[in-house]
């Protein structure tokens, strides 16, 4: 794997791990809040507090599940080999920006250059898939030309 792909892949791993840690912390805090909530003479207040903690736990569990899906998607990204067309794991340089087809992780920076980590299922990822150097595509009225593929 090229140093660039390795750096982008690692940043995606870090992004997923950060999301997983934040979701787990939210779950732990909500469960602790539910445990700490003691039944008072106002039973409705107790039930409302426990329900709010449960909703927070459920929300964080959903975020943890989504982060796990991202981790699984990353594990399926090829990390070696050279291709001549855009596929999962490709680093694509265009006249309108640089992209890493892996997961939607936002803007990543390597050696001062910016790359957008995008999902292959995103609109731009779908447009790029299978393209080769010098191919063009149009998205939202903007013309993109593939300049290089790693």
Question: Higher confidence at residue 47 or residue 8?
Answer: 8
The residues spanned by each domain of the chain are 3-75, 91-149
Cβ–Cβ < 8 Å for 99, 87: no
10 Å Cβ neighbour count for 109? 11
Q: Which two tokens stand for residue 67?
A: 């982060």
d(CA 121, CA 61): 23
pLDDT at position 41, please? 47
What percent of the chain shows pLDDT beyond 70?
A: 93
7 has a pLDDT exceeding 80 = yes
Q: What mean pLDDT comes out for the span 71-92? A: 89
Residue in the block written with tokens 């309108």? 96
- Average pLDDT over all residues of the chain: 90
b/e per residue 38-48 (b: at least 16 CB within 10 A): eeeeeeeeeee
pLDDT at position 24, please? 95
pLDDT at position 45, please? 59
Angle at 124 between CA 87 and CA 103, to 5 degrees: 60
Q: What mean pLDDT comes out for the span 101-123? A: 97
Tens digits of residue pLDDT in 33-59 = 877 765 554 556 557 777 888 899 999
Q: Strands of the chain (E only): list them.
A: 91-94, 97-101, 106-110, 113-118, 136-139, 142-149
What is the strand order of the sheet 113-118 is part of?
A: 106-110, 113-118, 97-101, 91-94, 142-149, 136-139
Q: Which of 96, 101, 139, 148 is nearest to 120 (CA)?
A: 101
Helix 43-75 with 3-36: angle, nearest 10 deg:
160
Q: What mean pLDDT comes out for the span 71-86? A: 87
């Amino acid at each position: 794997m090229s140093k660039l792909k390795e750096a982008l892949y690692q940043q995606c791993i870090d992004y997923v791990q950060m999301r997983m840690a934040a979701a787990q912390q939210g779950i732990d805090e909500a469960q602790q809040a539910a445990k700490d909530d003691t039944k008072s003479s106002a039973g409705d207040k107790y039930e409302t507090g426990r329900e709010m903690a449960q909703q927070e736990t459920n929300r964080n569990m959903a975020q943890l599940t989504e982060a796990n899906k991202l981790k699984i998607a990353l594990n399926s990204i090829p990390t070696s080999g050279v291709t001549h067309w855009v596929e999962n794991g490709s680093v694509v340089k265009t006249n309108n920006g640089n992209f890493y087809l892996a997961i939607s992780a936002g803007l990543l920076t390597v050696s001062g250059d910016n790359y957008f980590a995008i999902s292959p299922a995103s609109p731009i990822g779908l447009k790029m898939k299978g393209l080769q150097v010098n191919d063009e595509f149009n998205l939202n009225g903007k013309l993109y030309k593939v300049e290089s593929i790693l």
